[in-house]
Structure 1
Protein backbone atom coordinates (compact mmCIF):
# COMPACT_ATOMS: atom_id res chain seq x y z
CA UNK A 1 0.00 0.00 0.00
CA UNK A 2 1.27 3.46 -0.88
CA UNK A 3 1.34 5.53 2.30
CA UNK A 4 0.69 9.20 1.59
CA UNK A 5 3.08 11.52 3.42
CA UNK A 6 1.66 14.05 5.86
CA UNK A 7 3.37 16.50 8.19
CA UNK A 8 2.94 16.06 11.94
CA UNK A 9 1.23 19.48 12.10
CA UNK A 10 -1.04 18.49 9.22
CA UNK A 11 -2.02 15.27 10.98
CA UNK A 12 -2.83 17.28 14.10
CA UNK A 13 -5.06 19.68 12.11
CA UNK A 14 -6.81 16.84 10.26
CA UNK A 15 -7.44 15.03 13.57
CA UNK A 16 -9.02 18.20 14.97
CA UNK A 17 -11.21 18.53 11.88
CA UNK A 18 -12.26 14.88 12.18
CA UNK A 19 -13.19 15.32 15.83
CA UNK A 20 -15.23 18.46 15.02
CA UNK A 21 -17.07 16.69 12.19
CA UNK A 22 -17.93 13.74 14.43
CA UNK A 23 -18.86 15.64 17.60
CA UNK A 24 -20.37 18.88 16.27
CA UNK A 25 -21.27 18.75 12.58
CA UNK A 26 -22.68 15.20 12.37
CA UNK A 27 -25.05 15.63 15.38
CA UNK A 28 -26.24 19.00 14.00
CA UNK A 29 -27.04 17.46 10.62
CA UNK A 30 -28.96 14.64 12.29
CA UNK A 31 -30.96 17.27 14.18
CA UNK A 32 -31.56 19.24 10.95
CA UNK A 33 -32.83 16.11 9.17
CA UNK A 34 -35.14 15.32 12.09
CA UNK A 35 -36.51 18.87 12.12
CA UNK A 36 -37.00 18.87 8.33
CA UNK A 37 -38.88 15.52 8.50
CA UNK A 38 -41.38 17.12 10.85
CA UNK A 39 -42.32 19.55 8.06
CA UNK A 40 -44.09 16.80 6.14
CA UNK A 41 -43.83 15.79 2.48
CA UNK A 42 -40.17 14.91 1.89
CA UNK A 43 -40.38 15.10 -1.94
CA UNK A 44 -40.68 18.87 -1.93
CA UNK A 45 -38.87 19.59 1.33
CA UNK A 46 -35.81 21.69 0.45
CA UNK A 47 -34.47 21.72 4.03
CA UNK A 48 -34.58 17.92 4.16
CA UNK A 49 -32.76 17.52 0.84
CA UNK A 50 -30.15 20.13 1.78
CA UNK A 51 -29.51 18.40 5.12
CA UNK A 52 -29.21 15.00 3.42
CA UNK A 53 -26.75 16.44 0.91
CA UNK A 54 -24.71 17.98 3.74
CA UNK A 55 -24.81 14.63 5.55
CA UNK A 56 -23.45 12.86 2.47
CA UNK A 57 -20.65 15.40 2.07
CA UNK A 58 -19.74 15.23 5.78
CA UNK A 59 -19.72 11.42 5.91
CA UNK A 60 -17.48 11.36 2.82
CA UNK A 61 -15.06 13.81 4.44
CA UNK A 62 -15.04 11.77 7.68
CA UNK A 63 -14.16 8.62 5.70
CA UNK A 64 -11.43 10.46 3.79
CA UNK A 65 -9.87 11.84 7.00
CA UNK A 66 -10.04 8.48 8.77
CA UNK A 67 -8.37 6.81 5.80
CA UNK A 68 -5.58 9.39 5.54
CA UNK A 69 -4.91 9.40 9.28
CA UNK A 70 -4.87 5.60 9.55
CA UNK A 71 -2.76 4.89 6.47
CA UNK A 72 -0.72 8.08 6.04
CA UNK A 73 2.95 8.29 6.85
CA UNK A 74 3.39 11.08 9.39
CA UNK A 75 6.72 12.82 8.92
CA UNK A 76 8.12 15.01 11.68
CA UNK A 77 9.84 17.73 9.69
CA UNK A 78 11.92 18.93 12.64
CA UNK A 79 13.52 15.52 13.16
CA UNK A 80 14.96 15.42 9.64
CA UNK A 81 18.67 16.15 9.36
CA UNK A 82 18.96 17.47 5.81
CA UNK A 83 21.00 20.69 6.26
CA UNK A 84 19.73 23.06 3.60
CA UNK A 85 18.29 20.46 1.22
CA UNK A 86 14.68 20.75 0.15
CA UNK A 87 12.66 17.76 1.38
CA UNK A 88 9.04 16.99 2.20
CA UNK A 89 7.80 19.35 4.90
CA UNK A 90 10.40 22.06 4.27
CA UNK A 91 9.47 25.72 4.10
CA UNK A 92 11.27 27.04 1.07
CA UNK A 93 12.01 30.70 0.39
CA UNK A 94 12.27 31.27 -3.35
CA UNK A 95 13.08 34.14 -5.65
CA UNK A 96 11.42 34.16 -9.06
CA UNK A 97 14.41 35.02 -11.26
CA UNK A 98 12.21 36.76 -13.85
CA UNK A 99 10.12 38.98 -11.56
CA UNK A 100 12.47 39.03 -8.52
CA UNK A 101 9.40 38.27 -6.40
CA UNK A 102 10.10 36.39 -3.15
CA UNK A 103 7.68 33.64 -2.08
CA UNK A 104 7.71 31.10 0.73
CA UNK A 105 6.04 27.72 0.29
CA UNK A 106 5.83 24.71 2.55
CA UNK A 107 5.84 21.34 0.80
CA UNK A 108 3.10 19.21 2.37
CA UNK A 109 0.97 16.14 1.69
CA UNK A 110 -1.70 16.39 -0.98
CA UNK A 111 -4.55 16.53 1.55
CA UNK A 112 -2.85 19.38 3.46
CA UNK A 113 -2.18 21.57 0.41
CA UNK A 114 -3.74 25.04 0.54
CA UNK A 115 -2.28 27.69 -1.74
CA UNK A 116 -3.94 30.44 0.34
CA UNK A 117 -1.68 29.34 3.20
CA UNK A 118 1.31 28.86 0.86
CA UNK A 119 1.21 25.10 1.40
CA UNK A 120 1.89 23.26 -1.83
CA UNK A 121 1.33 19.56 -2.52
CA UNK A 122 4.37 17.33 -2.73
CA UNK A 123 2.93 16.11 -6.05
CA UNK A 124 2.77 19.62 -7.57
CA UNK A 125 5.17 20.56 -10.38
CA UNK A 126 6.92 23.22 -8.27
CA UNK A 127 7.44 20.87 -5.31
CA UNK A 128 8.77 18.13 -7.59
CA UNK A 129 11.22 20.63 -9.11
CA UNK A 130 12.41 21.74 -5.64
CA UNK A 131 12.83 18.42 -3.81
CA UNK A 132 16.45 17.35 -3.52
CA UNK A 133 17.84 20.78 -4.39
CA UNK A 134 19.86 22.87 -1.94
CA UNK A 135 20.00 26.49 -0.89
CA UNK A 136 21.50 28.52 -3.76
CA UNK A 137 20.33 26.08 -6.45
CA UNK A 138 17.98 27.14 -9.24
CA UNK A 139 14.88 25.05 -9.85
CA UNK A 140 13.20 25.12 -13.25
CA UNK A 141 9.43 24.65 -13.09
CA UNK A 142 7.17 23.85 -16.02
CA UNK A 143 4.28 26.30 -15.56
CA UNK A 144 1.29 26.81 -17.87
CA UNK A 145 2.93 30.07 -18.98
CA UNK A 146 6.22 28.32 -19.80
CA UNK A 147 9.38 27.57 -17.86
CA UNK A 148 9.94 29.52 -14.62
CA UNK A 149 13.20 29.66 -12.73
CA UNK A 150 13.35 29.98 -8.95
CA UNK A 151 16.48 30.40 -6.85
CA UNK A 152 16.27 28.67 -3.50
CA UNK A 153 17.13 31.32 -0.92
CA UNK A 154 16.53 29.21 2.20
CA UNK A 155 15.01 25.95 3.36
CA UNK A 156 13.77 25.62 6.95
CA UNK A 157 12.21 22.72 8.77
CA UNK A 158 9.70 23.94 11.32
CA UNK A 159 6.01 23.13 11.36
Structure 2
Protein backbone atom coordinates (compact mmCIF):
# COMPACT_ATOMS: atom_id res chain seq x y z
CA UNK A 1 0.00 0.00 0.00
CA UNK A 2 1.34 3.42 -0.96
CA UNK A 3 1.43 6.03 1.80
CA UNK A 4 0.68 9.70 1.16
CA UNK A 5 3.45 12.28 1.37
CA UNK A 6 3.54 15.95 0.44
CA UNK A 7 5.64 17.18 -2.47
CA UNK A 8 7.85 19.16 -0.07
CA UNK A 9 8.17 16.13 2.22
CA UNK A 10 9.41 13.82 -0.53
CA UNK A 11 11.84 16.50 -1.70
CA UNK A 12 13.28 16.72 1.83
CA UNK A 13 13.63 12.94 2.05
CA UNK A 14 15.34 12.80 -1.34
CA UNK A 15 17.75 15.58 -0.27
CA UNK A 16 18.61 13.65 2.92
CA UNK A 17 19.10 10.46 0.90
CA UNK A 18 21.41 12.25 -1.54
CA UNK A 19 23.44 13.70 1.35
CA UNK A 20 23.76 10.31 3.06
CA UNK A 21 24.90 8.61 -0.16
CA UNK A 22 27.15 11.32 -1.59
CA UNK A 23 28.60 12.99 1.52
CA UNK A 24 28.25 10.78 4.59
CA UNK A 25 28.95 7.39 2.95
CA UNK A 26 32.34 8.45 1.48
CA UNK A 27 33.36 10.06 4.81
CA UNK A 28 32.51 6.87 6.70
CA UNK A 29 34.30 4.63 4.19
CA UNK A 30 37.38 6.81 4.61
CA UNK A 31 37.09 6.63 8.41
CA UNK A 32 36.82 2.81 8.30
CA UNK A 33 39.87 2.56 6.04
CA UNK A 34 41.87 4.91 8.26
CA UNK A 35 40.91 3.00 11.40
CA UNK A 36 41.90 -0.30 9.74
CA UNK A 37 45.40 1.06 9.24
CA UNK A 38 45.81 1.39 13.02
CA UNK A 39 46.27 -2.33 13.43
CA UNK A 40 44.45 -4.98 15.50
CA UNK A 41 40.73 -4.65 14.69
CA UNK A 42 39.59 -6.52 17.82
CA UNK A 43 40.72 -3.74 20.14
CA UNK A 44 40.38 -0.82 17.75
CA UNK A 45 37.65 1.47 19.12
CA UNK A 46 37.88 3.85 16.15
CA UNK A 47 37.26 0.98 13.74
CA UNK A 48 34.23 -0.26 15.69
CA UNK A 49 32.80 3.26 15.98
CA UNK A 50 33.25 3.84 12.25
CA UNK A 51 31.61 0.49 11.42
CA UNK A 52 28.70 1.31 13.74
CA UNK A 53 28.29 4.68 12.04
CA UNK A 54 28.43 2.94 8.66
CA UNK A 55 25.74 0.50 9.74
CA UNK A 56 23.49 3.32 10.96
CA UNK A 57 24.00 5.30 7.74
CA UNK A 58 23.27 2.32 5.49
CA UNK A 59 20.16 1.52 7.55
CA UNK A 60 18.87 5.07 7.16
CA UNK A 61 19.57 4.95 3.40
CA UNK A 62 17.56 1.73 3.11
CA UNK A 63 14.76 3.22 5.22
CA UNK A 64 14.57 6.37 3.08
CA UNK A 65 14.63 4.38 -0.16
CA UNK A 66 11.76 2.26 1.15
CA UNK A 67 9.71 5.26 2.23
CA UNK A 68 10.21 7.02 -1.10
CA UNK A 69 9.44 3.88 -3.12
CA UNK A 70 6.22 3.23 -1.23
CA UNK A 71 4.96 6.82 -1.15
CA UNK A 72 2.35 8.56 -3.22
CA UNK A 73 3.17 12.24 -3.65
CA UNK A 74 0.13 14.43 -3.20
CA UNK A 75 0.40 18.08 -4.22
CA UNK A 76 -2.55 19.74 -2.49
CA UNK A 77 -2.08 22.93 -4.54
CA UNK A 78 -3.18 21.04 -7.67
CA UNK A 79 -6.19 19.37 -6.05
CA UNK A 80 -9.67 20.82 -6.44
CA UNK A 81 -10.78 20.34 -2.84
CA UNK A 82 -13.03 23.32 -2.31
CA UNK A 83 -12.96 24.45 1.28
CA UNK A 84 -12.51 21.12 3.11
CA UNK A 85 -9.62 19.93 5.22
CA UNK A 86 -7.66 17.35 3.23
CA UNK A 87 -4.21 15.77 3.30
CA UNK A 88 -1.59 18.51 2.93
CA UNK A 89 -3.84 21.31 4.15
CA UNK A 90 -2.62 23.75 6.78
CA UNK A 91 -5.31 24.32 9.40
CA UNK A 92 -5.55 27.13 11.96
CA UNK A 93 -7.45 25.99 15.04
CA UNK A 94 -8.70 27.72 18.17
CA UNK A 95 -8.78 25.56 21.27
CA UNK A 96 -12.11 26.06 23.00
CA UNK A 97 -10.83 25.76 26.60
CA UNK A 98 -7.88 28.17 26.35
CA UNK A 99 -8.74 30.27 23.31
CA UNK A 100 -5.19 29.64 22.02
CA UNK A 101 -4.60 29.29 18.30
CA UNK A 102 -2.50 26.46 16.87
CA UNK A 103 -1.57 25.78 13.26
CA UNK A 104 -1.01 22.30 11.87
CA UNK A 105 -0.24 20.94 8.44
CA UNK A 106 -1.54 17.43 7.79
CA UNK A 107 1.30 15.38 6.30
CA UNK A 108 2.44 11.79 5.83
CA UNK A 109 3.78 9.68 8.68
CA UNK A 110 7.39 9.99 7.45
CA UNK A 111 7.39 13.79 7.51
CA UNK A 112 5.40 14.44 10.70
CA UNK A 113 7.17 16.74 13.18
CA UNK A 114 5.11 18.41 15.88
CA UNK A 115 7.85 20.99 16.52
CA UNK A 116 7.33 22.21 12.95
CA UNK A 117 3.54 22.05 13.23
CA UNK A 118 3.33 18.99 10.97
CA UNK A 119 0.96 16.26 12.15
CA UNK A 120 0.57 12.80 10.69
CA UNK A 121 -2.53 11.97 8.67
CA UNK A 122 -2.93 8.96 10.96
CA UNK A 123 -2.98 11.06 14.16
CA UNK A 124 -6.28 11.43 16.04
CA UNK A 125 -6.45 15.18 15.46
CA UNK A 126 -5.80 14.89 11.71
CA UNK A 127 -8.42 12.18 11.35
CA UNK A 128 -10.91 14.39 13.19
CA UNK A 129 -10.12 17.37 10.94
CA UNK A 130 -10.31 15.69 7.52
CA UNK A 131 -13.50 16.64 5.69
CA UNK A 132 -14.32 19.55 8.00
CA UNK A 133 -14.69 23.22 6.97
CA UNK A 134 -13.97 26.67 8.42
CA UNK A 135 -16.09 27.37 11.55
CA UNK A 136 -16.70 23.65 12.17
CA UNK A 137 -16.32 22.36 15.71
CA UNK A 138 -13.97 19.41 16.06
CA UNK A 139 -13.77 17.03 19.03
CA UNK A 140 -10.51 15.15 19.54
CA UNK A 141 -9.84 12.42 22.07
CA UNK A 142 -6.41 13.38 23.41
CA UNK A 143 -4.32 11.58 26.07
CA UNK A 144 -5.37 14.25 28.58
CA UNK A 145 -9.04 13.92 27.70
CA UNK A 146 -11.31 15.27 25.00
CA UNK A 147 -10.42 18.63 23.44
CA UNK A 148 -12.63 20.82 21.32
CA UNK A 149 -11.30 23.01 18.52
CA UNK A 150 -12.88 25.45 16.09
CA UNK A 151 -11.46 25.67 12.58
CA UNK A 152 -10.43 29.28 11.99
CA UNK A 153 -8.77 28.91 8.58
CA UNK A 154 -7.69 26.34 5.99
CA UNK A 155 -4.79 26.96 3.60
CA UNK A 156 -3.61 24.85 0.69
CA UNK A 157 0.06 25.75 0.26
TM range (shorter): over 0.9
1:89 partnered with 2:88: yes
State how far apart, in whole Å, the 2-side matches of 1:56 and 1:125 are. 34
Q: Deviations over 1:9-56 (max 9, x none)?
A: 111111111111110011111111111111222222222122111111
Summarize the alignment of residues 23-42 of structure 1 with structure 2, pairs less than 5 Å apart: 23-42=22-41
Q: Which residue of 1 aligns with 2:49?
A: 50
The answer to whether the Cα contact below 8 Å between 1:84 and 1:154 also exists between their aligned partners in 2 is no
Q: Distance in 2 between matches of 1:56 and 1:76?
A: 34
TM-score, with structure 1 as normaliser: 0.95
Residue 150, structure 1, aligned to residue 149, structure 2: yes
The runs of 5 or more residues in structure 2 that have no matched partner are none
Q: Deviations over 1:74-97 (max 9, x none)?
A: 001101111221110000101111
2:122 paired with 1:123: yes
Q: Distance between the aligned counterparts of 1:53 and 1:10, measured in 2? A: 28
Does the CA contact (< 8 Å) of 1:96 and 1:151 recur in 2?
yes
Where 1:54 maps in the other structure, the secondary structure is helix
Instruction: Tell me if structure 2 keeps the 8 A contact 1:106–1:120.
Output: yes
Q: Which runs of 5+ in 1 are unaligned?
A: none
Aligned residues: 157
Quote the RMSD (CA, aligned, Å): 1.0
Q: d(CA) in 2 for partners of 1:50 and 1:99?
A: 49
Residues 94, 153 of structure 1: 8 Å contact kept: yes
Q: Which residue of 1 aligns with 2:113?
A: 114
